[in-house]
């Protein structure tokens, strides 16, 4: 597998959030590598509020990690 994550460092919080979403997506692909299975399951969880909230929580956890790695962008202002 290529080095898809060379760093957690980002320039802005928005880039950090995008990275957090990517981390969540990559985790799903690694957990379920079969694209057909993921495609078949997508309509099920797309209509389930609890699952969508859980997805948001995963992204939030990844964002907290990225934010900490970036010193909470203290130098960005």
- pLDDT tens digit sequence for 22-65: 999 999 999 999 999 999 999 999 999 999 999 999 999 999 99
**What is the reported pLDDT for 72?**
93
Position 8 in a domain: no
Whole-structure pTM value: 0.87
Position 62 in a domain: yes
Burial per residue of 40-63, b for 16 or more beta-carbon CB atoms within 10 angstroms, e otherwise: eeeeeeeeeeeeeeebeeebeebb
Position 5 in a domain: no
Position 58 in a domain: yes
Domain count, the chain: 1
Position 77 in a domain: no
Position 2 in a domain: no
Could you list the residue range(s) of the whole structural domain that residue 59 is in?
A: 13-71
**What is the reported pLDDT for 42?**
94
């Amino acid at each position: 597998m290529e080095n898809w994550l060379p760093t957690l460092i980002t320039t802005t919080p928005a880039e950090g959030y995008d990275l957090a979403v990517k981390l969540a997506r990559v985790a799903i692909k690694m957990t379920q590598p079969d694209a057909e299975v993921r495609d078949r399951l997508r309509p099920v969880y797309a209509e389930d509020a609890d699952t969508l909230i859980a997805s948001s929580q995963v992204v939030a956890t990844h964002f907290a990690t990225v934010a900490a790695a970036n010193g909470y962008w203290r130098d960005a202002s």
